[in-house]
Amino acid sequence: MKFKIDKKVLVGCLSTVIGGVSKNSTSKILENILLSVGDGFLTALSSNLEIQITNKCKCESEESGQTTVAGRKLFDIAKASKEGVLTFEIKDDFLVVKSGRSRFKLAMLPANDFPVIADIESTASFSMSGVDLKGILDKVSFSIADKDVRYYLNGMYFNIADGNIEAVSTDGHRMSILNHNNSTVSGEGNFIAPKNGLNELSKSLGSVSDVLEVKLTDNHIQVVNGGYGLISKLIDGKYPDYKAAIPKEILFNVSINKEEFIGSLSRCSLLADDKARHVKINLSDGLIEIESANKNQEKAKEALDIDHKGELQVGFNVGYLIDAVSHCDGKDVNLAFSGEGTSLIVKGSGNAEYIVMPVRI
């Protein structure tokens, strides 16, 4: 195997797959990247057995072949090299990398030992732009649970049917729901995609406007865009009945300026209890008040004018409330209150809504 490649092209290629490289794995080969060269292209592939990431880029290939080398070492070498062309060649069972007057000798492991997931046969599929898919991930993924014993909460739930893609996440304290109409939906299904795989996908998408193809099976999700591809295992479990957590009867709908509300919440959060992070919301005629206090008897209070009649008092985690409002589109947000001790629905002008569970005050 022998090829030449521009530094910027190589760094760009490796940056998309490095997230799939295992850290401190018991299997040494999972810390490697599989390099395949032929027909003027370099294909880099990483895997940690949960996700597999592939990227393909142009190179000047003189001899085709495959090998695996330490992924992070190769990425660091590529980033540290001077601008220009890097030359790769296998010599005496090592991969030799040359950049200007620099020379690096990397140990290899056999390409045949690298675990590769083949392209999947889909039971359902859809297409959308990278920008739209990243938008869904950004607006829903923040409320995915982190290492929860209820393992099915450690991912994003998707329900695909009748030309609609519904994405849901919850950590048991707040919930995000987004519906996206998509005429390319083929088949039906629901699945839970793990947080790590979604994070790597979101990093890779960036501002990709090209159309992505998404394929689903009972066990995997695959996303393909030209030379880029990601395959992730799905979480095997039943997602909870999230619709039961959405309040059915609304007592008050309050429209409020998004930035002003975030500002008031942020200022009151400064004196909220460090652990509980609770704030109290008081509604009265023409006014919404936010209050906070801590164990040192320090207090904060702020009021905003609103078009409203009626009284209500309810408490929330201020961080969860700020997250929900911040992810809403538009200048104003609607706060749908169902009563004391009940969840709040937060919705902007877009197709996402957020449910924040109440706390005792």
**Which CATH number covers residue 45?**
3.10.150.10
318 and 250 belong to one structural domain: yes
Residue 92 neighbours by CB under 8 Å, 6+ apart: none
223 and 270 belong to one structural domain: no
pLDDT, one tens digit per residue, over 246-299 is 999 999 999 999 999 999 999 999 999 999 999 999 999 999 999 999 999 999
Q: Residues in the chain with pLDDT < 70?
A: 206-209
Please check whether residue 361 lies inside any domain of the structure.
Answer: no
- Strand locations in 32-154 (E): 32-38, 41-47, 51-58, 60-63, 65-70, 85-91, 94-99, 102-109, 124-129
235 and 212 belong to one structural domain: yes
109 and 193 belong to one structural domain: no
- Helix (H) or strand (E) holding 347, with range, is strand 344-347
| CA atoms of 268 and 181, how far apart (whole Å) | 38
| CA atoms of 268 and 284, how far apart (whole Å) | 19
Please check whether residue 297 lies inside any domain of the structure.
Answer: yes
| CA atoms of 170 and 356, how far apart (whole Å) | 10
134 and 236 belong to one structural domain: yes
The number of helices, as runs of H, and strands, as runs of E, in the chain is 6, 25
131 and 198 belong to one structural domain: yes
201 and 135 belong to one structural domain: yes
120: its two tokens: 């999947």
252 and 352 belong to one structural domain: yes
State residue 209's pLDDT score. 61
Maximum C-alpha span of the chain? 82
**What's the domain count of the chain?**
3
210 and 257 belong to one structural domain: no
State residue 262's pLDDT score. 98
304 and 199 belong to one structural domain: no
Q: Are 300 and 318 in contact (CB under 8 A)?
A: no
How many Cβ atoms are within 10 Å of 28's Cβ, its own excluded? 13
State residue 208's pLDDT score. 57
299 and 207 belong to one structural domain: no
Structural domain of 229: 124-242
218: its two tokens: 């009972």
Q: Which amino acid belongs to residue 147? A: K
Please say which residue of 86, 113, 140 terminates a domain. 113
Burial of 240 (0-12, 13-18, 19+ CB in 10 A): middle
Please say which residue of 242, 264, 295 terminates a domain. 242
95 and 139 belong to one structural domain: no
Please check whether residue 118 lies inside any domain of the structure.
Answer: no
Pairing of strands 94-99, 102-109: antiparallel
Residue 136 neighbours by CB under 8 Å, 6+ apart: 165, 167, 178, 180
263: its two tokens: 């500002």
Please say which residue of 210, 242, 274 terminates a domain. 242
